[in-house]
Amino acid sequence: MTIEQLTELLGWASVINIGYLFLATMFLVFLRKPIFYIHSKIFGVDESELSAQYFNFLSNYKIAILVFMIAPYLALKIMGQ
């Protein structure tokens, strides 16, 4: 695999992951009640605790995207110039 291919792979993987992060955030913003109801029943967690769990998930996912997708992509773009 060449550097150009790896750079393209990381770029598209970043786009897909950012799209998922955006979609998950929009679902939690606009469909809050149904999602809270379903997850509180499935996992046995109080709805008050779910807000913290959702925030924790979204923030950890965002950090993972930055560290494992965007930072290497930018490093490869700089190397390729």
| Residue 78 scores a pLDDT above 90 | yes
Q: What is the pLDDT of residues 13-48, one digit of tens each?
A: 999 999 999 999 999 999 999 999 999 999 999 888
Q: What is the pTM of this model?
A: 0.88
Q: What is the pLDDT of residues 44-66, one digit of tens each?
A: 998 889 999 999 999 999 999 99
CB 47 within 8 A of CB 36: yes
Q: What is the pLDDT of residue 80?
A: 84
Q: Which of 59, 78, 81, 77 is nearest to 10 (CA)?
A: 77
Question: What is the residue type of 22?
Answer: F
Mean pLDDT for 7-14 is 97
